[in-house]
Structure 1
């Protein structure tokens, strides 16, 4: 169903007037716009929400819309057909905003920018002038608003293409197939360069496997990156060379020199990636485009994992001189990118060993030198990671006082600069509060910086900014004084308690969905998981071709778990089993209250596709599951989240699942602080399990979750 039709249905369901075709006469179009303005004003009068944004909408409908309507009608240079479309587009815009608010289709803070840009785009379209500058920086949502509003104009279809490609731009697998399916797609050249800069091997693989109009465009487009990628077709070393084709195109490297370095000196190759990334940052600072920067970051992650992080993790029982031998030739800047690239995969002891080596290479008392060397690249990420591993205070204490203040000021300030990333940056800042709030030196400084930013935002009348920093101030207060958590819990619900009533379905059953994958790790996890339910007096296991159903036998609270079998991952059979299980649950009207992910971090996006609003507990038992909070909060708004910051392990996951199911069977609400104390004692028997458990985050300590939940409460008030 098209976006247009979806909005028609929404508007009809809300009883909103909406003409399904353009008006035949200009007076008719003006009359319908006047009527819509009255309806919009009435809608605003009954709306509870952010006062400042309500005032902006009121000003738009009562003043801006009138001014634009008059300007279009009175301008003799505009032909009647364009006047008709222009007037109708204003009405469509108001109706789309109204329906979007009613159905919670928009991010709250998309609205002010849309109100600001709409008149400028409308003016450009009716006069035939450039409109693209007004769409720059628009995310998919705001672009979609404009596509729907201006659909009568020929440019409306271009807007829709742009909205679609922006919507899927984070998924490289989908972009070229989407363009392939649309013969009239107008931005092929732009998309090809976009993919080349972010995932160059997609271009190489595409021209290797395909022969169609898209490959024709790749060959015909005289772009230096694409020209170099074409030469890699059939090259078995293409994946090593592709991230550096920007350097080849500039004449600074050759494919042979890159491959020669990679085959003889993995450290030299890794350092080449680091050096190129940093050189590009310098160029970007001087006004150059980002170019191959995304591809370089992806390559850095791949090589950090393959060359260093996985081997160091695997040697966790060896002495440090053996375990960390591979990083001895690395510079401080190289070690920095190991940490920021591999945050989800590093064992605690692996991180601490790398951090020790890193600090040993910095000038005494000048750890701030590191930030200068890396040009503050991903510095928020580094600070957050340092906080997770309880070394942030050590890092800050090893620099001059004025440098500490400047770094923290930079860390906390400016998160409002991009509506597309502001909430995620705020979550990064909140993650560091657990360390900063407990230090008598840094706690007052952070409190002061938050207050300063709220003052700045208020002075600039930036409501989005005020909201972000007000939320951070509330969360910081909670981190500083746990007793104040009741203030946040009064808005969000008590995250120290998971009530059984929330998990039960209409039949009074607690249903759980457990997702496994068919690689070696997944098969081992599944076998370990099934051992929890080997007591046949307590559990009944029913196995089908693609999943198992585990049911409690005892009287009292009925508990069921549905887990797909870890069938062959290489053939995609595990995902087929998951989809078959989801179809079965839907057919039987079974709504799981709990979802459990068991598998590597790269499988997690697939599991997150199965999230449902009915789910009240999400257990992300994979490496770095903590980083997916934003997705869970969007798809399962009421779910408490139990996740790990770093390494997920069946040594922790299975005892947790067993303990949770004991609570379920006994119909006991889960008191997370009590359970965490109990599990902490259980896992403290060995240093290895103790360190693994310390990386798990219970719902009541999930500061970044509170940021997004408070933010969404504000948005949902519209």
Structure 2
């Protein structure tokens, strides 16, 4: 905001001048108050000189945009005030009506902008629309033509401005607004129809919603009310299929195949034959997904493809991955027996869909079976068979688990070169503010490749630079942004390049966490640790090892109850650690323990800034669901996949994340926690690079290999990409 300070002062001064100087025209005494009310609303819009109170309308970095909004809300409104006051053809009550309307408009724009229901970008349109509506109203004409041409929110304000006394076009305007509202917020169509069952265009609204969001129509069709009964007799073919599904007890199992059923490519009977067989149902879903990806290459997008992937994901994790993970101590013949009926393409989806849960040894077992079942067919043929679905994810995971060289060597060198060029090419087409997964996978893959294959890493950097130049030549701002971040991240992996990512990418520090950002207003640093009770006792053992860092140590005191433990240091700056107990039994006792701990923290006004997950990968989602925006450091211990990184950074956009590319282990977790706590007790900032260098000296042999798989925040290129692409402003 410092760069904007001169501009802010100019605007503030302009506001003050515009609203404090005496008008250059005479105002009738009976209308002075109405003009003053408008002026007061204008003053609330922007920062006032000498005031630290923010105005309703936030100023952007685009000064041209700011100037347009300012002109509309100050100069243009002033002009309208003057023209109303000086119009000799208007009666006194008409002038008062229009001045009140101006006040309402100015107030609602301000309040709407502050609540984020109204975009400041609509301010010029709304002011111009008010002027046009005023002209129609004074001619005793309806304002509905103006409302019809306006954005929904501008039209809504106009209706409020011209309702007292009511303009003759208000009834028509309200009907227009209802249509605009549902067009702007189609997800609210079904709730609206539930309370407005007799709405005239309900048939077309239901049919449109069935194609936009079949799941929602399905949910409403499954109810027992008038709308549900109407949906079941609706004539639209898509609605008919949804209604038939909703009437069946197996509706949820049919739903992923809705597009194929609607198009006549699949029948309910075909699904009935496999729906109770986990293996065959999974195979049918994979077959359907591959057909869908083939159609998508031809720009033919199936309905509810997300529902199909979600069901595949669920089945892959529950039926296959959880079982091979759970048998990690068994022989391969026993552990991987469940995979025997699966073809390479079916195993492929187990890998990419199970990214966040699959154990290292499980992944390698699946990968090995993919290679074996290709029976010498070049591995690049697998990607063509898959229509390159999730191919960046597959390559990223192969790199993370040290299998990428194997994958590339089992295809012709020329094809390997083309594959890795494709890996880097076209990221601008799949990357936007809502989805950065492909670009994050590429960044994460580079992090792994740089450590193992310097030649391949150099080629990736060359491709990133080439694609950046391509985006510049094409005038593609998104491509320039994506590839500038990628090439900067790649360049930073070489310590000799001496690149400060914070400065280069315009994001908060990635190499350090300021002590003051971790401490609360009372100077305490609060940590929360999540443990889980498991039938294999791993969670209980992890908890016992964790407590061993503190029990019997003079520098720490421990208090506990049946659900959680409180650990406080007795020397140095205050560090308070809270951990739930890993309880195992019926009704998820460890979940209840976490809930009681959260309630205690809330009651005592304690806000953790450090969150630590200890437990199997399938528990990570539960831990992430409890992290709060106060998080500054998040230690996952394992499972650094895109979904988890994205979840953390959605909650706290500047969190520093530590994760492992493979299995987390206490032999690494605990030295990291000790190093962090030592710094905090001494009141020191967390400096990741020197801390990581010192930690590396503690390990050798297998432990050193495990440590090398842990990714410190400054090397977590995927997380840094998300921050840089979406933009992060450091919190005070």
Normalising to structure 1: TM-score of the pair?
Answer: 0.70
Could you tell me how far 1:276 is from its partner in structure 2?
0.8
Does the C-alpha gap of structure 1 residues 712 and 644 become closer, same or farther in structure 2, counting only changes over 3 Å? same
Partner of 1:644: 660
Does the C-alpha gap of structure 1 residues 48 and 359 become closer, same or farther in structure 2, counting only changes over 3 Å? farther
SS in 1 for 2:646: helix
Higher normalized contact order (CA 8 Å, seq sep 6+, divided by chain length): 1
Q: What CA deviation, in whole Å up to 9, does each residue of 1:349-394 have, x standing for no partner?
A: 2222322332344585843322221112122222222222233344
Could you tell me how far 1:343 is from its partner in structure 2?
1.1
Is 626-635 or 663-672 further displaced after alignment?
663-672
Counterpart of 1:560 (choices 566, 576, 581) is 576
SS in 2 for 1:377: coil
Partner of 1:629: 645
Structure 1 CA distance, aligned partners of 2:418 and 2:123?
Answer: 36
Could you tell me how far 1:548 is from its partner in structure 2?
3.5
Q: What CA deviation, in whole Å up to 9, does each residue of 1:590-645 have, x standing for no partner?
A: 33221223456566555445544543211224644663323433433443111234
Is the counterpart of residue 382 in structure 1 residue 394 in structure 2? yes
Counterpart of 1:151 (choices 148, 156, 159) is 156
Partner of 1:479: 493
Is the counterpart of residue 701 in structure 1 residue 718 in structure 2? no
Structure 2 CA distance, aligned partners of 1:567 and 1:315?
Answer: 22
Is 223-232 or 468-477 further displaced after alignment?
223-232
Does the C-alpha gap of structure 1 residues 543 and 163 become closer, same or farther in structure 2, counting only changes over 3 Å? farther
Q: What CA deviation, in whole Å up to 9, does each residue of 1:411-457 have, x standing for no partner?
A: 33333335344544332221122245564544444334333433343
Is the counterpart of residue 512 in structure 1 residue 507 in structure 2? no
Asked if the contact 2:320/2:339 (under 8 Å) is kept, the reply is: yes
Structure 1 CA distance, aligned partners of 2:474 and 2:102?
Answer: 33
SS in 1 for 2:498: helix
> Matches of residues 54-69 of structure 1 in structure 2 within 5 Å?
54=63
> Matches of residues 536-575 of structure 1 in structure 2 within 5 Å?
537-543=554-560, 547-552=564-569, 554-564=570-580
Structure 2 CA distance, aligned partners of 1:298 and 1:328?
Answer: 23
Partner of 2:338: 326
> Matches of residues 300-311 of structure 1 in structure 2 within 5 Å?
300-311=312-323
Does the C-alpha gap of structure 1 residues 470 and 61 become closer, same or farther in structure 2, counting only changes over 3 Å? farther
Does the C-alpha gap of structure 1 residues 711 and 581 become closer, same or farther in structure 2, counting only changes over 3 Å? same
Asked if the contact 1:96/1:149 (under 8 Å) is kept, the reply is: no
Partner of 1:345: 357
Q: What CA deviation, in whole Å up to 9, does each residue of 1:485-514 have, x standing for no partner?
A: 435368556544445444333333221123
Could you tell me how far 1:702 is from its partner in structure 2?
0.6
Partner of 2:463: 449
Does the C-alpha gap of structure 1 residues 129 and 276 become closer, same or farther in structure 2, counting only changes over 3 Å? farther
Asked if the contact 2:502/2:510 (under 8 Å) is kept, the reply is: no
Partner of 2:441: 428
Partner of 2:88: none
Partner of 2:385: 373
Asked if the contact 2:113/2:120 (under 8 Å) is kept, the reply is: no
> Matches of residues 31-50 of structure 1 in structure 2 within 5 Å?
none
The count of corresponding residues between Structure 1 and Structure 2 is: 645
SS in 1 for 2:491: helix
Asked if the contact 2:539/2:615 (under 8 Å) is kept, the reply is: no
Asked if the contact 1:516/1:522 (under 8 Å) is kept, the reply is: no
Asked if the contact 1:517/1:569 (under 8 Å) is kept, the reply is: no
Asked if the contact 2:526/2:576 (under 8 Å) is kept, the reply is: yes
SS in 2 for 1:541: strand
Could you tell me how far 1:465 is from its partner in structure 2?
3.4
> Matches of residues 411-426 of structure 1 in structure 2 within 5 Å?
411-417=423-429, 419-421=432-434, 423-426=436-439
Partner of 2:308: 296
SS in 1 for 2:500: helix
Does the C-alpha gap of structure 1 residues 574 and 349 become closer, same or farther in structure 2, counting only changes over 3 Å? closer
Asked if the contact 1:627/1:645 (under 8 Å) is kept, the reply is: no
Structure 2 CA distance, aligned partners of 1:262 and 1:449?
Answer: 46
> Matches of residues 574-653 of structure 1 in structure 2 within 5 Å?
578=594, 581-598=597-614, 604=620, 607-608=623-624, 610-621=626-637, 623-624=639-640, 627-645=643-661, 647-648=663-664, 653=669
Could you tell me how far 1:280 is from its partner in structure 2?
1.9
Does the C-alpha gap of structure 1 residues 454 and 564 become closer, same or farther in structure 2, counting only changes over 3 Å? same
Could you tell me how far 1:301 is from its partner in structure 2?
1.4
Structure 2 CA distance, aligned partners of 1:654 and 1:547?
Answer: 19
Partner of 1:335: 347
Partner of 2:518: 503
Does the C-alpha gap of structure 1 residues 319 and 453 become closer, same or farther in structure 2, counting only changes over 3 Å? same
Partner of 2:481: 467
Could you tell me how far 1:345 is from its partner in structure 2?
1.5
Structure 1 CA distance, aligned partners of 2:480 and 2:109?
Answer: 26
Structure 1 CA distance, aligned partners of 2:146 and 2:347?
Answer: 55
Q: Which runs of 5+ in 2 are unaligned?
A: 1-10, 20-30, 84-97, 133-142, 160-173
Structure 2 CA distance, aligned partners of 1:157 and 1:569?
Answer: 52
Structure 2 CA distance, aligned partners of 1:97 and 1:441?
Answer: 55
> Matches of residues 147-226 of structure 1 in structure 2 within 5 Å?
148-152=153-157, 154=174, 196=214, 203=218, 210-213=223-226, 215-216=228-229, 218-222=231-235
> Matches of residues 3-42 of structure 1 in structure 2 within 5 Å?
none
Partner of 2:92: none
Structure 2 CA distance, aligned partners of 1:217 and 1:513?
Answer: 51
Asked if the contact 1:90/1:149 (under 8 Å) is kept, the reply is: no
Structure 2 CA distance, aligned partners of 1:705 and 1:508?
Answer: 28
SS in 2 for 1:288: coil
Does the C-alpha gap of structure 1 residues 610 and 188 become closer, same or farther in structure 2, counting only changes over 3 Å? farther
Could you tell me how far 1:478 is from its partner in structure 2?
0.5
SS in 2 for 1:466: helix
Counterpart of 1:488 (choices 491, 502, 514) is 502
Asked if the contact 1:680/1:690 (under 8 Å) is kept, the reply is: yes
Asked if the contact 2:528/2:577 (under 8 Å) is kept, the reply is: yes
Structure 1 CA distance, aligned partners of 2:591 and 2:100?
Answer: 47
Does the C-alpha gap of structure 1 residues 156 and 338 become closer, same or farther in structure 2, counting only changes over 3 Å? same
Q: What CA deviation, in whole Å up to 9, does each residue of 1:108-161 have, x standing for no partner?
A: xx999x999999999999568799xxxxxxxxxxxxxx6655533646566666
SS in 2 for 1:211: coil
SS in 2 for 1:151: helix
Q: What CA deviation, in whole Å up to 9, does each residue of 1:63-109 have, x standing for no partner?
A: 9x999xx9xx9xxxxxxxxx999999998998699869xx9x99xxx
Normalising to structure 2: TM-score of the pair?
Answer: 0.69
SS in 1 for 2:527: strand
Asked if the contact 1:616/1:636 (under 8 Å) is kept, the reply is: yes
Is 121-130 or 360-369 further displaced after alignment?
121-130
Q: What CA deviation, in whole Å up to 9, does each residue of 1:189-226 have, x standing for no partner?
A: 655655545x99xx47x766x42355335434455566
Does the C-alpha gap of structure 1 residues 353 and 547 become closer, same or farther in structure 2, counting only changes over 3 Å? closer
